Amino acid sequence: MRCSTLFVALSAAAGVLATAFGELPAGVPRNVHEFRLKHPYKSNGGGSDHADGQRPIVKIRPSRNATDGVADEFLKGLHKANHGGTLYLPKGELYIIDKPLDLTFLDDVQVHWDGEVKFTDDTPFWQANAFAHPFQNSLMFWKWGGKDIKLYGEGILNGNGQRWWNEFAGLEILDPDNEYLRPILFYAENATNLEMEGIHEKDSPCWTNFIVTSKGVSFTNVIVTAESNNASSLPKNTDFFDSLNVEDVTVERVWVNIGDDCFSPKSNATNIHVDTMYCNGTHGQSMGSVGQYAGEKSFIQDVVIENVWLLNGQHGARIKTWAGPDVGYGFVDNITFRNFWQAANEYAAFLDSCYFNIDASTCEQYPSQMNITNILFENFTGYTSGKYGTAVARLTCSANPDAVCDNITFKNFNITSPCGEAVIICDDIRGGIGVDCVPSNSTEATAALAATCTVPQATIAPPF
């Protein structure tokens, strides 16, 4: 079934009108250029004023060619700029990083980043020499840490990911038998007051950012892309943001065009605010996954995500927790998803308590031990892709009698389906959710899921 019905939906985040399936509301950027026009960013010169005068500027030599590594020079430059200086990477210069760097010694340092920093794509070297973290077998090109670190500019951080995606094709990051590990583009640990502004993070082999045991982290006016030139090897697991043990995180005005979660804090995250994100081809604004590791407590608490456009992806607002015989426990509490405009996503809201290929019988026998409480989905407009028929949202809480799933609320939820009248499916939630919903084993849910159809992708390129 092909739907051509026009609709008019108020975008709470943009305050403008949508027109037809596949078209974006007026004023919504469709590409990086339009994003920069709508949200301009300009570096503040080769160094900003400091409390005791002008910051000293440090420069290092750029790479002479694509194989000329300057990792040692980059490290020396940051040592020299540390304690009050600025490392300056001018526009038009290339800096090849060919070895892992431990940058966890930083104290009051800035990087004025207008050039391009690019990692080599020597996959055997990096798999043998990269830093490692036990969480989901993560590898890192480098690790940043310390206090009062600011990275700003109009330059590029390039993960050179194509070879990694090609060689990883067909594998799964969470498969316990997977031995092909890929580095994370930007990793920070034990950081306090870490800022990234303006930079274009490009083609990460795996997660784009992984922030661990840190406080006071911000990403502002950042562009994040992962775009393959090989249709059979698309970017995978290239999440914009992942974290472990973080608090006080701010994300403002970010463009994301990648192949996985647009935003995805994991275990032990609190006090997070996301405002104004454009996400194309992602898995959604995700809480988690959490509860993966046996006997380990994890939580996500006090999060507001608002003013978000989600296009051509898997889901919109998403919560994912693990089930099975050897998982952890904990809670997801006080999460607000507000002012979401969506186009051609599968579910506009999705709560998954049986995450990552766990079969239904196992989830039934060993349901999730995560509490899900005080979740608000407010001011949602737009339309789904039709993959799940007229079902536009699905909330599946744990059937575990000791896992609370309470105060889940929909307010001004105006998501339509191109296949017909919208249906919301929900299971094992205490009380009502503020709108009508039906259990997954009902005739209404079965009919909704069977009524599949398709719509064009929302346009993100300039009109021709």
Q: What is the DSSP-derived secondary structure letter of residue 458?
A: P
Q: What backbone phi and psi angles, to 5 degrees, belong to 187?
A: -125, 135
Q: Is residue 260 flagged as an active site residue?
A: yes
Nearest to 389 by CA among 436, 333, 452, 341: 452
Closest CA to 270 of 289, 296, 244, 306: 244
33 burial level (CB within 10 Å; 0-12, 13-18, 19+): exposed
Q: Which residues contact 44 (CB under 8 A, 6 or more apart)?
A: 152
Residue 138: which H helix or E strand, with range?
strand 138-140
Residues 180, 242: Cα–Cα separation, whole Å = 20
Whether 211 contacts 233, CB under 8 Å: no
HSE of 30, CA atoms in CB hemisphere, 13 A: 14
What distance in Å separates the CA atoms of residue 315 and residue 292, rounded to the nearest whole number?
21
Q: Which helix (H) or strand (E) holds 199?
A: none
In the three-class reduction of DSSP (H, G, I as helix; E, B as strand; rest coil), residue 284 is classed as coil
Nearest to 410 by CA among 381, 389, 390, 384: 381
CA angle 405, 272, 392 (to 5 degrees): 50
- Please check whether residue 423 is in contact with residue 392, taking contact to mean a CB–CB distance below 8 angstroms: yes
- Residue ranges of E strands in 261-323: 264-265, 269-280, 285-290, 297-311, 315-321
Selected catalytic residue, list 203, 242, 261, 283: 283
The residue behind tokens 């431990």 is 102
Tell which residue, 224, 212, 334, has the closest CA to residue 273: 334
Rounded to whole angstroms, the Cα distance separating 281 from 259 reads 6
* 52 catalytic residue (yes or no): no
Tokens of 454: 């398709």
On whether the CB atoms of residues 372 and 405 are closer than 8 A, the answer is yes
Residues near 441 by Cβ (< 8 Å), separated by ≥ 6?
none
Dist. CA 401–CA 418, nearest whole Å? 37
Lookup: tokens for 68: 């000329």
- Active-site residue (options: 203, 239, 260, 261): 260
Give dist(CA 196, CA 87) in Å, integer: 14
Where in the sequence numbering do the catalytic residues fall? 260, 283
